[in-house]
Amino acid sequence: MKHPDLPRGAWLEQLLEQSLIEDIGPGDASTSITVAPDSRAVARVVAREPGVLAGLPLLVPLLRRLDESVTVALERWDGDRVAAGDVAAVLSGPAAPLLTGERTALNFLQQLSGIASLTARYVDAVSGTGCQVLDTRKTVPGWRALAKYAVRCGGGTNHRFGLYDRIMLKDNHWAAGGDRISDLVTRGRRDHPDLAIEVEVDSLEQLDAVLPLQIEWVLLDNFTPDEVGAAVARRDAAATGTRLESSGNITLETIAAHAEAGADACSVGRLTHSAPALDLSLEMELQS
């Protein structure tokens, strides 16, 4: 498989730096009284449960902030599925920075691998249907690019990254604007011609009103699978090419039914706001 590219930039450098500062503060008191300055160690990142990995490329820029001589050998890649007991990476170098950086490194790996692992379960659930599994903007502030990267590692597809890369007209926009949806769509096409337009509907009647506008996407908010099937039939009859996104309390137990009903995509907020961390450990051995 093609492995996703880790997003990079000044924001990531700042996030890594601040994460270490948060944990270390004025100094690692435990390591300072435990490890001799010349002690060296080998540490292995080991999966304690099955899952999908994400975040491994962060190990080098994170740990080398503590000591430039730390080396990282990746045994697996982001997007790889692992079983309990599999080694994901081998770290070597001075023991002190490996101990000091252990928790921060695992925090990144466990959180991102948790997102990737949960995403993969959703993707598996709709396998063969052609339905995309989409993330949302429900991310921890400052972590969005990494969280959405982890979604890609799990086989999911990124929805919009922010308020700037798609026009999405939801019920609150209708209420706040006071304009007809057709007027808002016309204005959006005029002011932002390069952006796709998506409109949220919560009934088949609203869908009927929106389909003639021939927008790129319609979000079916809290539709049942039967209602999704009816929406697909109406869309196909209208022959507009509009794609349908099912959203609202999509779970592992229900996503297959939405996909089989014909939804082009299902968006799942819990991929990034409620994914349990993947259980990974750092097993260290001192070298003589």
Alpha-carbon distance values, 217 to 28, 135, 202, 235 (Å): 51, 15, 14, 11
Active site residue 103: yes
Query: Which one of 40, 81, 166, 170 is the catalytic residue?
Result: 170
Catalytic one of 28, 102, 200, 264: 200
Rounded to whole angstroms, the Cα distance separating 134 from 115 reads 12
200 is an active site residue: yes
Q: How far is C-alpha 57 from the chain's CA centre?
A: 16
Pick the catalytic residue from 76, 81, 138, 234: 138
The single residue of 202, 221, 260, 279 carrying the catalytic annotation is 221
| H-only helix segments in the chain | 10-24, 29-32, 59-63, 95-125, 144-153, 171-177, 181-191, 204-210, 225-238, 255-260, 270-273
5 burial via Cβ count (<10 Å: 0-12, 13-18, 19+):
exposed
2 is catalytic: no
For every residue of 91-134, DSSP letters joined together read EEEEHHHHHHHHHHHHHHHHHHHHHHHHHHHHHHHTTTS--EEE
Distance CA(200)–CA(169), nearest Å, equals 6
Q: Left if phi > 0, otherwise alpha if psi is -120 to 50, otherwise beta: which for 117?
A: alpha
Residue 56 DSSP SS3: helix
- Which entry of 8, 48, 103, 180 is annotated as an active-site residue? 103
Query: Which positions are catalytic?
Result: 103, 138, 170, 200, 221
